[in-house]
Amino acid sequence: MLVFVTRRLLVALSVALTVSIVSFLLLHFSGDLATSIAGPDATAEQVEKIRVEFGLDQPIVEQYFHWLVSAVQLNFGRSYYFQDTVISLIRERLPITLTLGGLALGLAILVAIPLGVIAAIKQNTWIDRLALSFAVIGQAMPSFWFGLTLIIVFAVNLHWLPAGGNSSWQHFVLPAICLGYYAMPAMMRLTRTGMLEVLNSDYIRTARSKGLNESTVVLKHALRNAVIPVVALAAVELGFMLGGSVIVESVFSLRGLGQLAWDAISRNDYPVVQAVVLIIAVFYIALTFFADVLNALLDPRLRVR
């Protein structure tokens, strides 16, 4: 197990380093940063002054290593637009995005796994078709449209929940439903497929021949093996939620990391953009790493790969 964890950790660190290099290069090759920071009305002298002030006149390799060393120390510089340190902005916004992502993932798991199990048990019945229709609608429906629909129904018409903000737990209910429904279809279909495969295996037939209760066979013997790929998918979906929450946060006026990234991109605030991209990538890689470790604990056969 130690060898497996070490190997996965080295892969995760390599991927994180690669992401940092690619994101840094893409941002710097997108245009002249000094000109973007100075603005369209700046003179050549002002642009050159900014280029020297922010070290943009140095070789690109030197700029990257200077930025990477500072980033490892959680020093991402100062925001051009917000006039505050980048790490302070991230400390303020990150808990909101993590709360939203955690609630959305929890809701997706609570709905998708039981629905996938029921759909597998009731294969080719109206219940199975209804569950698959629920998954298809969830994949086809744009999250911004679903979010606006939730606001119109539950905030504007029924007055049950607030339409936006993040001052109380009620403000996270509608965004969590909107973001969680995005992850439900894939998790439900994967659970259903896994359960169908496991329920037709030899050891399940043996368990039934021993006279075990059907609920014991399904929940204790079948679900444990069927849910293994769902664990990895859940980690990936949470990473997608953290990275793609900008739309949901914009619709519901949540001042999270996604909204910060959108504000920084629209205002050419490059230190903030670099920091947000790196942090989201690190979260995504870390979630994938822990999912691999958890899968190895659930299925010892994976440790030899």
Radius of gyration, CA atoms only, the chain: 24
**Model pLDDT, residue 158:** 83
Q: pLDDT exceeding 70 applies to what percent of the chain?
A: 83
Dist CA 214 CA 194 (whole Å): 17
Does 54 have pLDDT greater than 70? no
| Domain annotation covers residue 162 | yes
User: Does residue 299 carry a pLDDT above 80?
Assistant: no
Residue 232 lies in a domain: yes
Q: How far is CA 232 from CA 187, 188, 268, in A?
A: 10, 14, 35
Decide if pLDDT at 305 tops 60: no
In a domain, 116, yes or no: yes
What pLDDT is attached to residue 150? 87
Domain limits for position 166: 86-304
pLDDT by residue (tens digit) across 77-127? 778 777 788 888 888 888 888 888 888 888 888 888 888 888 888 888 888
Domain assignment present for residue 16? The answer is no
Give the residue, 36 or 59, on which the prediction is more confident. Answer: 59
Q: How confident is the model at residue 200 (pLDDT cuts 50, 70, 90)?
A: confident
pLDDT, tens digit (0-9, with 9 covering 90-100), for 116-166: 888 888 888 888 888 888 888 877 788 788 888 888 988 888 888 887 777
Is the separation of the CB atoms in 189 and 115 below 8 Å? no
Lowest mean pLDDT among 53-57, 96-100, 188-192: 53-57
pLDDT attached to residue 42: 66
Q: What's the pLDDT tens digit per position in 211-239?
A: 666 667 776 667 777 777 777 778 777 77
- Counting residues of the chain whose pLDDT is more than 90, the rounded percentage is 0
Q: For 4-12, what is the mean pLDDT? A: 77
Q: For residue 33, what pLDDT is reported? A: 66
Q: What pLDDT score was predicted for residue 61?
A: 82
- Judged by DSSP in three states, 82 sits in coil
Q: Tell me, what's the pLDDT at 257?
A: 83
The pLDDT assigned to 137 comes to 83
248/58: higher pLDDT: 248
What CATH number is associated with residue 153?
A: 1.10.3720.10
Whether 11 is in a domain gets the answer no
Q: What phi, psi does 78 have (nearest 5°)?
A: -120, 140
Sign of CA dihedral 9, 10, 14, 15: negative
pLDDT at 263 over 60: yes
pLDDT score recorded for residue 215: 67
Q: Establish if 45 belongs to a structural domain.
A: no
Domains: count for the chain: 1
Picking from 118, 295, 121, the residue whose alpha carbon sits closest to that of residue 200 is: 121
Q: Calculate ∠ Cα 261-231-274, nearest 5°.
A: 20
Does residue 155 lie within any of the structural domains?
yes
Asked if 112 and 180 touch (Cβ cutoff 8 Å), the reply is no
Q: Is 55 part of a structural domain of the chain?
A: no
State the DSSP string of 95-147: HHHHHHHHHHHHHHHHHHHHHHHHHHHTTTSHHHHHHHHHHHHHHHS-HHHHH
The runs of H, that is alpha helices, within the chain are 2-29, 33-38, 44-53, 60-72, 86-121, 126-140, 143-150, 173-199, 202-209, 214-216, 223-226, 228-244, 246-251, 257-266, 270-298
Overall pTM > 0.85: no
Q: Which residues contact 68 (CB under 8 A, 6 or more apart)?
A: 20, 24
Residue 7: its pLDDT value, please? 75
